[in-house]
């Protein structure tokens, strides 16, 4: 972690585990504004983002892309300044020599809530698209799929050693989306 107004080099920042020995995500960034780089299990740069609450963003990313969140580097700033955050992000992409996959074609998977419909099992999708069902029945199928996908994510995170309580937003399930509250 580094707090400064200039653009820190990615190589100068401390490597932090995404999940610590106690199964917690980096809490020291709660409420902190900054830029962060996420690394996969092979220490390849997977995604670079910035946020007004780095801790919350890191939680969102591990829920959306658990298979890619193994390490993180963070540079915090004192005041929100989109130009500075964008400058640091661009400098880190340049330093990396290539756009991380999470900032390219896969950006939506990193940055948007999980679309339940795109992760439905074939049987769920067949049921959901049945024109003979009414809106309440469609909603029930959508919520069941959302609960199944949520449980799959929580199982993966438990297997990874995450002990931190993560709560999904129940209101988003009605619209076929999964994201943390």
Tens-digit pLDDT profile for residues 82-111: 999 999 999 999 999 999 999 999 999 999
Residue 82 and residue 28 share a domain: yes
36 and 100, same domain (yes or no): yes
Q: Are residues 17 and 42 in the same domain?
A: yes
Q: What local confidence, expressed as pLDDT, does residue 4 receive? A: 44
- What is the residue range of 156's domain? 114-178
Q: Are residues 91 and 119 in the same domain?
A: no
In this structure, the answer to whether residues 19 and 106 fall within a common structural domain is: yes
3-state secondary structure string across the chain: CEECCCCCCHHHCCCEECCCCCCCCCHHHCCCEEEEEEECCCCCEEEEEEECCHHHHHHHHHHHCHHHCCEEEEEEECCCCHHHHHHHHHHHHHHHCCCCHHHCCCHHHHHCCEEHHHHCCHHHHHHHCCCCCCHHHHHHHHHHHHHHHHHHHHHHHHHCCCCCCCCECHHHHCCCEECEC
**Same structural domain, 142 and 53:** no
59 and 86 belong to one structural domain: yes
Where a domain ends, among 60, 80, 111?
Answer: 111
Same domain as 78, residue 31: yes
Instruction: Please give the Cα distance from 180 to 48 (Å, whole number).
Output: 20
- What are 128-169's pLDDT values in tens digits? 999 999 999 999 999 999 999 999 999 999 999 999 999 999
Are 64 and 75 members of one domain?
A: yes
Same domain, 30 and 105: yes
Nearest to 150 by CA among 70, 63, 66: 63
> Does one domain contain both 49 and 95?
yes
**Residue 24 is part of a domain; what is its CATH number?**
3.40.1440.10
Q: Residue 49: its pLDDT value, please?
A: 98
Question: What is the model's pTM?
Answer: 0.91
Same-domain check for residues 9 and 91: yes
Given pLDDT bands bounded at 50, 70 and 90, which one contains residue 178?
A: very high
Domain total for the chain?
Answer: 2
Q: Which of 111, 127, 154 is the last residue of a domain?
A: 111
């Amino acid at each position: 972690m580094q707090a400064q107004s200039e653009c820190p080099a990615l190589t100068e920042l401390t490597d932090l585990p995404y999940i610590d020995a106690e199964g917690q995500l980096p809490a020291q960034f709660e409420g902190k504004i900054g830029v962060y780089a996420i690394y996969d299990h092979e220490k390849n740069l997977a995604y670079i983002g910035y946020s007004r609450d780095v801790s919350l963003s890191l939680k969102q990313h591990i829920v959306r892309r658990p298979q890619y969140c193994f390490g993180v580097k963070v540079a915090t700033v004192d005041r929100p300044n989109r130009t500075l955050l964008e400058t640091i992000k661009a400098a880190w992409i340049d330093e990396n020599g290539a756009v991380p996959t999470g900032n390219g074609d896969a950006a939506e998977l990193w940055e948007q809530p999980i679309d339940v419909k795109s992760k439905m099992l074939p049987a769920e999708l067949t049921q959901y698209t049945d024109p003979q069902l009414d809106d309440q029945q469609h909603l029930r199928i959508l919520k069941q799929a959302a609960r199944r996908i949520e449980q799959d994510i929580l199982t993966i995170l438990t297997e990874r050693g995450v002990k931190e309580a993560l709560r999904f937003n129940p209101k988003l399930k009605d619209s076929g989306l999964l994201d943390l509250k």
